[in-house]
Amino acid sequence: MATGFDRFTARVNLDADLTRKLRAGINLTPSLTRGNGINTEGATQNDGIINLTLNMFPNLPVQYEDGTYSNGQNTDFGVNLENPVWILKNYHEKRRQLRLLGTVFAEYAILEGLSVRSSFGVDLGNRSTHIFRPNVLGAGAQLRGSAPARGSLAGIQSYNWLNENTLTYTRTFNNAHSITALAGFTAQRQYNEEHLMNAQNFPNNFVPTLGAGQINGGDHAITEWTLLSYLARVNYAFKSKYLFTGTIRRDGSSRFGPGVRWGAFPSVSAGWRLSEEAFMRGLSPVVNDLKLRGSYGLTGNNRIPVYGHLGLLQASNYVRGTAITPGLAPATLTNRNLSWEKNRQLDIGLEAELFKGRVAITGDYYRKITYDLLLNVQLPSASGYEVLLQNLGKIKNEGWEFVLNTKNLTRAFRWSTDFNISFNTNKVLALGPEGDPIRASSGQPNTHITAIGHPAGSYFGFQQEGIFLNEEELTRYPVVPGRNGSRAGDIRYKDVNGDGVITPDDRTIIGNALPDFIYGMTHTFSFKNFDLSVLLQGVQGMDVFNLTLTGLGHLQSTRNNRGDYADRWRSAEQPGKYFRANRAPTGFNTEVSSRMVEDGSYLNIRTVSFGYSLPAAAAKKIFLGRLRVYANVQNAWIFTRYLNYNPEASFGQDNPLTPGVDLGGYPLNRMYTLGITVGI
C-alpha cells in the first residue's frame, strides 16, 4: 500500500565552563523524515480514504477475477466512488523533509550576582512533496479506459532564527530578603519560500517525474514575519514566606499594520506560604507545606496569516477589446486597525503537601477573558468579498483544575500515582456592535455557529425530535412543506421559531465540542532495577459532530450505510429506530442535524512503558554512567461508545470556530517502541 513514514534523528548537547566566569554551549538536532502520503480524511469526492472505505458497497469484491478493481460505477446507480485499495496501490505521494534545530549560548558572570546571557537559535527546514496521479485513477477511470494523468512538485525552504539577550541580577539581603531581577530583549524572524509546479499529458505511468509530462502551471510565494520583544521581571521573597513576581513585556509584530503593531502585556503574582506561619506549627506533622497563590495578567495573540491586515491581490483575467488579458484584482480587504488579540486572566491556587511528602494536592481556579478576538467575519455578498479579518468579540473561559500526587508504597517495591482533572466552561460574551452570530463551515455548509451566550464554535443544525411514525402524526406536528416535504417515516424536527413549518430558519445549536471534564492518571511502579509506568487519559461529556453520517447514514441506497441504520422505519407497524430508506430523500432527512452529534467520551490507555536499568557498578565497568533499555506502547487500548475510529478526530483543525468534526478521521495509531538510554 502507499503509506509509510520514517524518521531519523540525532542530538548533540555540549556545554562547558570556558573560564571561571564564562560558560558556553551548543545544541544540535538534525533530522530527516520521509514518507508516502495519502489523503486519509475528508469527503469521498476528495478521495478521503477512510470515507471511501466505509462508503463502498459491501457486496462488491475488492478485485474481480480479471484483475480489475470494483468501484461505484459497477452498480446500478453509477456512483462516483473510487476503490480505496486501487487508490492506495496507484497513488504516488512522496514527502521529504530535512530539518536542523540548533542553539548556541554564552553566559558571563560580570559581578557577583550579576550575569548576562545571550543565545542564538535557528530552525532550518527543507521540505518537498511529489504527487503523481496516474491515468488509471479518477472515478470510473477503469471503465472509461483512462483519466488525465497529473503530477505536481511542491517545496518549501524556511528558516527561523531567534536571538535572546538577558541581564540577570540575584541577591539576598540579611538572610531574609531575596530578589531576582531580569531585563532583556528578543528578536525573531521567519522566512518561507514556497514553490509549486503542475504537469499533465504524461505519455504513460512509468515515469512519474514532472519532466515526463507537460508543465501547465505553477506558483511561487515568499512570506516573512518578525517579532521584537522587550521584557522585564522581578521576583521577591521574604524568608520564603511571602512571594511576589512582577512581569512586563512589550511585543511588536509585523503581522499588524503600522501604528498598531505593539502591545504591552503586564502580569503580577503573589504567594503566601502559610505553613511558615506560627499558627500552623501545630499542624506541621500532617501539613508539611501549604501555599496560597494568585496571579493576574495580560497576554497577547498574533497568530493570523502573515499579511492578514493587508488587502491582497490575485490573478484575474479581464476583457480588453476582443482579447482576454491577464491582470490582477483585489482578493481581500485591508484592515489597518487589526491588532493584538488579548487575554486577561485571573488564577487563584492552593498547594498542600501532607504526611511527610506522601500526599501532594493542588487546586486552581482560573477565569480568562479573551477580547478583540482575531476572527474572519462573513461579509454581505454585495461587497464582493467573503470575509474580513477583524478584532471582534469577547469570550470567557472559566474553570477548575485539581492535581493529586501520592506515594502509595515507598520501600523495595515503590508505587506512586499522579492524578489530574480539569473542568472548563466557555461562553461568548460579545460579538461586535450588533452581536450578530458568526457561522462557519467544515465539510458541509454552515455546520457551526458562534453566538452570544453559548460556547464558541457550537454545532449548528436541525434538532431531531423523533420519526413521523404514521400519517396521523404528519397532521399533528410541523412538517417540511412542498413537493419534497415530510412523509411517514421521515425525521420529525423541532419547530424552533414556532411558525408551524420546518424550514432552514429552524436550525439551532445542537451541541459543542467542549467536554464536561478531562482527566489523566499515571501509575509508576519500580522494583530493584525494573520500572513500569501506565498513563491513562480520558475525556467525559464531549460531543463529536460525526459528519461521516452524511454518507454512511443517509439511507439513499447509493452507497454503504452504517450497520445500526438497518433498524429503520419500514411501516407504521415496523417503526424501527431510524428514518426510512428513500432513493430521493424527503423531509430534510439528509440535512445536518442532531442525529449526527454523538457522545465522544473515552478512556485511553495512552502509554505503557517498561524498562530495566543496569546497576551503576555494572555500568561503570563498561565506562558508562547509566544504561537503560525500555519498551513502550502508545495508545494501547481505548474504551469508548463512539462508533467511528477516533473520538479525538477534528477535521479542519486550522479553524478554531469549527471544532469537533469527524469526517473520516484516521484511527489512532498503536505505536511500539524499543529504546536504549545511555549516559556517559
pLDDT of residue 679: 78
Percent of the chain's residues with pLDDT above 70:
97
pLDDT value at residue 362: 97
Q: How many CB atoms lie within 10 A of CB 529?
A: 13
pLDDT tens digit string along 57-106? 888 888 888 888 887 765 656 567 788 888 888 888 999 999 999 999 99
pLDDT value for 537:
97
Contacts 24+ apart (CB under 8 A), 314-323: none
* pLDDT tens per residue, range 293-327: 999 999 999 999 999 999 888 888 888 888 888 88
38-52 pLDDT, tens digit each: 888 877 777 788 888
Please tell me the total number of residues recorded for the chain in this structure: 680
Residue 222, number of CB atoms within 10 A of its CB: 10
CATH topology of domain 4-679: Maltoporin; Chain A (2.40.170)
pLDDT tens by residue, 565-584: 999 999 999 999 999 998 88
pLDDT of 168 reads 97
- Residue 320 neighbours by CB under 8 Å, 6+ apart: none
516, 541 Cβ separation under 8 angstroms: yes
> Could you give the CA distance from residue 117 to residue 166 in angstroms, rounded to a whole number?
5
What are the structural domain ranges in the chain?
Answer: 4-679
Start-end of H helices in 468-586: 471-476, 549-552
- Going by C-alpha positions, the residue among 383, 498, 370 that lies closest to residue 427 is 370
For 382, list phi and psi in degrees, rounded to 5: -65, -20
Q: What is the mean pLDDT of residues 353-364?
A: 95
Kindly tell me if the per-residue pLDDT of 430 is higher than 90: yes
Asked if residue 93 lies in contact with residue 2, where contact means CB atoms within 8 angstroms, the answer is yes
Q: What are phi and psi of 117, to 5 degrees?
A: -135, 135
Across 528-545, average pLDDT: 96
pLDDT in tens, 138-197: 544 544 445 678 899 999 999 999 999 999 999 999 888 999 999 999 999 999 999 999
**670 DSSP assignment:** P
Q: What is the pTM (predicted TM-score) of this model? A: 0.88
pLDDT at 146: 58
What percent of the chain is predicted at pLDDT more than 90? 63
